[in-house]
Amino acid sequence: KSDSDTYSCDIGDAQSRAKLVVQEAPVLFKQELQNEEAKEGKQVKLTCELSKPDTPVKWMKGDTVLHASEKYEFKQRGTVAELIIRDVKPIDA
């Protein structure tokens, strides 16, 4: 995307110009989330892999956006995004 701009070829007495517009490729899941089972009180990690590194990720439980806390930890390295849920309870299912 950062290559989008106007480019020119200059031969002294004349110039030729062209505008380049780079369309960003959509971000896709290379590896989707997998179902997990965990015993109450344990920790579970949900992992997905994206097609582009450092893509902003929003974690949700149902329709509720999750926020980092003692319960939820988010990690993201390159194309891999992780949600760690600590001390799981039946309500976390």
Q: Where are the domains of the chain?
A: 29-85
Q: For the segment 51-74, what is each residue's pLDDT rounded down to a tens digit? A: 999 899 999 999 999 999 999 999
- Over residues 64-90, mean pLDDT: 96
Q: H or E stretch including 8?
A: strand 5-10
CA 89 to centroid of chain Cα atoms? 27
Q: pTM here?
A: 0.76
What are the residue ranges of helices labelled H in the chain?
Answer: none
The listed CATH number (3.40.50.720, 2.60.40.10, 3.40.50.970, 1.20.1600.10) that belongs to domain 29-85: 2.60.40.10
Q: For the segment 12-50, what is each residue's pLDDT rounded down to a tens digit? A: 999 999 999 999 889 999 999 999 999 999 999 999 999
Start-to-end Cα distance in the chain: 40
Which residue type does 3 have?
D
Report the b/e string of 29-39 with b at 16+ CB within 10 A. Answer: eeeeeeeeeee
